[in-house]
Amino acid sequence: MKQHLRARLHGRCGRLILMGLCTIFVSAANGQTLSLYDAVNKTIDNYPEIKRQEQELKASQAHITTVAGNMLPSLRLMDEVNVASANSLPGSYLPLSVIPSTSGAVRPENNGQAASGNIAMSLLEWELYNFGYKQAEKSAASAQMQVSKANLSANKYVLSEQVIALYLDWLKKFRLLQIEQENLDRVSVAFNIIRATVISGLKPGVDSSTASAQYAQSRISYLQAYTDYKNEQITLATYTGLDTAMVKPDTAAVSLMLKAYPQAWNISDSVSDSHPILNVYEKQYQEQLARNKATDKKYMPKLSLESAAWARGSSISNTDQYADLQQGFGYSRYNYLVGLAVSYNLFDIKHRHDEHQENNFRMQAKEEALKTAELNLNKALQQANVAYQNTLDKLNELPVQLHSANDAYNQQLALYKSGLNTLIDLTNAQYVLKQAETNFVITQDELLQLLHTRAGLSNQLDLFLEKFKS
């Protein structure tokens, strides 16, 4: 009697828990469907790292305009009003940054009397010809922008691959949760049958206890599957920026794709030269070439136009007489200067050789990095092709296993109802059926993941996503 009451209590508690979980699960299952295509596009639109890189690209585009501005001449306007003493000595010296300038008569002694002065000038400096250095700098800036653009495209591509893998894993967890739900239903049906036969005295009481333990284990497995599913759902939400709590994966589109394999896919077996990852290395190599050219031009001679115009005033007359300070604030002398200047540092020959050699090493390093990336992508694609074929072979066998396991369970359940077998036989049949269903879902997920991997490696990710467009 106690055993019977305990079994009823366990069954009632189990049903309450199951009803609560089923309510949550059904509400999610009846929610809006989130397609794989939409999940990827929402991520690209909302992910903060992508937005950061888009701003970096805009900065590199603006840098081209900044560099182009270096070709403009420099025109500076200056004006200075001062009060100072005026004591000078003959002789020359090199300019040392902050040495003030004093012009005027040389007296035998110092004179501390103050004099006023005023000077205004304009100075034009324009590098007329530099053997293409400014244009080479602009080309290098443009090459840098292309690297930023390639990085953005590659990061979007990699992020898309990550979201696809995450979505497919979320889909797998959803289907595994369904399996746990179906298994729990089967165990619940068997538990009710066993309880009825035990109460009627047709089966021993130990069957009821064993079934109760099995039912509890099934509930635990369901809870774990639900936790795994929700964890994947939360992770996906951090990428897409969506509240995925009330959405479910698009199982219908996936089922259509799985039924149509491999005819539905036209994925190349080779790595495309235009793959976004390879494009990054290619653009880095091109950028280094552009910088090498700019380095060569940097050390060439420079031809510049120099011109200046200025006006001066002083309270000291040309006979060295000090007047009122206010007389020095006007202008009394005017001058202009125009000239062409050629400059070249002979030691730049050595600097140019050293920097050119350094840049060549960098260029060779980037070329080898490109070759390494090509090798890695080709190796990964070959491995994915082999795994894909093996997975196809497995999927050809699994339907037979699943069908046989389902028949075996139904037969064992009928035999148990008739009292012709034991609970162990029924339990084993339940386990085999659940394992067959799990294997089928996991292998289908492997196929989708491998299709995704092959599409990603062969630069056909858009083709893959189009299959899942809602």
Which domains can be identified in the chain, with CATH numbers?
A: 2-66+136-289+354-466 (1.20.1600.10)
Bridging pattern class, strands 302-314 and 115-129: antiparallel
Determine the Cα–Cα distance for residues 415 and 128; give it in Å rounded to an integer.
100
Nearest Cα to Cα of residue 268 among 100, 459, 125: 459
CB 183 within 8 A of CB 256: no
Under a CB-based contact definition with an 8 Å cutoff, are residues 216 and 21 in contact?
Answer: no
| Host H or E run for residue 196 | helix 133-199
User: What pLDDT digit, counting tens, does each position of 75-84 carry?
Assistant: 999 999 999 9
What are the pLDDT digits (tens) for 16-60? Answer: 344 444 444 444 445 688 889 999 999 999 899 999 999 999 999
Q: What is the pLDDT along the chain (470 residues), one digit of tens a residue?
A: 334 434 443 444 444 344 444 444 444 445 688 889 999 999 999 899 999 999 999 999 999 999 888 888 899 999 999 999 888 888 888 888 788 888 887 888 888 888 889 999 999 999 888 888 888 999 999 999 999 999 999 999 999 999 999 999 999 999 999 999 999 998 888 878 777 766 666 566 667 777 788 888 899 999 999 999 999 999 998 888 877 777 889 888 777 777 766 555 677 778 888 899 999 999 999 999 999 999 888 888 899 999 999 999 999 888 888 889 888 888 989 999 999 999 988 888 888 888 888 989 999 999 999 999 999 999 999 999 999 889 988 888 888 999 999 999 999 888 888 878 888 888 899 999 999 999 999 999 999 999 899 989 989 888 888 888 76
Single pTM value for the model: 0.79
Beta strands in 74-211 (DSSP E): 74-84, 115-129
